[in-house]
Amino acid sequence: MNLLQKKKKSSAIKRIEKNYNRCKIRNNKGTKRICENCQDECLATLFCELCVRNYLKSNFLNWTSGNNDIDNLIQQCQMETLVPCRIIEWIPYNKLQNIKYLTKGGCSEIYEAYWIDGRYYEWDSKEKQLNRNNRQYVVLKKLKNIESANRSWFEEGKSHLSISNKYGGIAQCFGLTKDPSDENFMLVMSYMNANLREYLQQNYNKLTWKERIQIINDITLALSQIYKGGAIHRDLHSGNVLFQQKIQTFRISDLGFCGPPDKPLNSIYGNLPYIAPEVISGKETTFASDIYSIGILMWEISSGQPPFLCKHNYDLAIKIINGMRPKIIPGTPLKYKELMEQCWDADPTKRPNAITLIKELSNIYSYYLNNNEQQQIISDNFQMNSNFNVNSSSINSFSDEVFSSKVYTFQNMPEPRNATKEEQAYHSIQLDFDLRDGLITGTLTANLKGIILMVDDEKESYVNSKKIKLNNNKGDDENLNLERDELKISF
């Protein structure tokens, strides 16, 4: 065995041990050992989780955010730390360089920056301290009106931050900072290469059905991890499903601090096409509500289009409650179609849970894996679908409407129901008229006319398998392989 092979083997073993340590501590199961430093029993083999937490605790007096609620939030998260590379901390604003505005998303402004010190990376048992990862590219999400937030908002934020640092399917949050120019707090998060909407715009025509199924499977697995932590996402859409190129994996973001802290009573917050009809009508958000969002994402992945590219208002809300759903495109595999329709059923009790969904997606994926030779056939249906490409400039002109989560207040809404086939066809015609009435013109209108064609349930499409790449790759996470090992499903 040469030197390179030895290094690869050593790296692989270390990666497996890191993943094993995290699982042991998270589940509080496994063989314990006596730490050589603190002499207490610990679960981790590469470090002592108790020493790490005590080190963080001893540093509490050396920092403050200036807000007791934020301080308590960070301290509680640190006392639940599982591994050194996933620690929530207070990050002084002067430790961030080259801060640049990126975009506005929902109730937040998004920035990019370089974090000079970088996150904690590993525990040095000899020096009894945490070592850092050096300069790191990060994303900043501005949180406004925190002073008006109630206790439940902070409790939910703490729960979600804790979950995001326990599981690999959630985009990592490194901590919080504060912009001195306006006194607003900001989340400091890991950089991801693109959101799902951007990824589909760049790569839709290259995707095989096997790859599309893998995408929705990544998302569903991440959602199941959120449920394991006892939380609900509440605002799942293609803008907060993020792609990490180095490990070819999708993760869910915006888990914590969902919506404005001062959201009015009896209002809902989200991206309307992805909000479950029972939530629109005034019911509480549940696990099943997130599954509805998965159904809409399944359609978006199958079509390459954002759902309901029209005004997000009362009229659209009523149509969703009355059973209007995006028209399934020709060439959608029958089993995929049936699963998608189950997910967006108006009755929450008829939707599959996350585990059932993962199993069903696994079966569909296995079919394509076992019929690999058919993947080389470009079907007539797929060639038809390739004519549905959305013009990027048209999409961008409606980006605020399509991608933004907002606060909605709907009153006296009817009970949700499923539409009949005749009603669905009528809704589709009405949507086309709405689009032609000044909202969207030219290529995009023609595209959506194609989408509302009736589906041929018996046909399935197969496309060439190609490696998907993005142009931008600024991530520098040295634990990407660890995350891939935990996140990816072996079918």
Domain spans of the chain, in order of start:
36-191, 194-451
Least confident of 182-191, 195-204, 218-227, 386-395: 386-395
pLDDT at 106: 65
By C-alpha distance, which of 90, 87, 141 is closest to 119?
87
> Span 194-451: which CATH code?
1.10.510.10
Given a contact cutoff of 8 angstroms between Cβ atoms, the answer to whether 382 and 331 are in contact is yes
Split at pLDDT 50, 70, 90, the class of 201 is very high
Which sign does the torsion angle of CA 408, 413, 416, 422 carry?
negative
Share of the chain above pLDDT 70, in %: 75
By C-alpha distance, which of 75, 104, 231 is closest to 160?
231
> Span 36-191: which CATH code?
3.30.200.20
Q: What is the DSSP letter of 279?
A: H
- Model's pTM, two decimal places? 0.81
Split at pLDDT 50, 70, 90, the class of 458 is very low
List CB contacts of 329: < 8 A, sequence separation 6 or more.
302, 303, 385, 388, 451, 453, 455
For the chain, the residue count is 491
Q: What is the DSSP string of 372-426?
A: GGGGG---HHHHHHGGGPPPHHHHHHTHHHHH--EEE---SPPPP-PPPHHHHHH
Which tokens hold the place of 324?
């209007």
Given a contact cutoff of 8 angstroms between Cβ atoms, the answer to whether 280 and 317 are in contact is yes
Query: Mean pLDDT highest for which of 37-41, 328-332, 384-388, 460-464?
Result: 37-41
C-alpha 278/C-alpha 210 separation (Å) is 32
pLDDT at 166: 86
Whether 36-191 and 194-451 share one fold: the answer is no
Count Cβ atoms below 10 Å from residue 79 Cβ, excluding itself: 12
By C-alpha distance, which of 452, 447, 413 is closest to 429?
452
Type of residue at 82: L
Given a contact cutoff of 8 angstroms between Cβ atoms, the answer to whether 463 and 340 are in contact is no
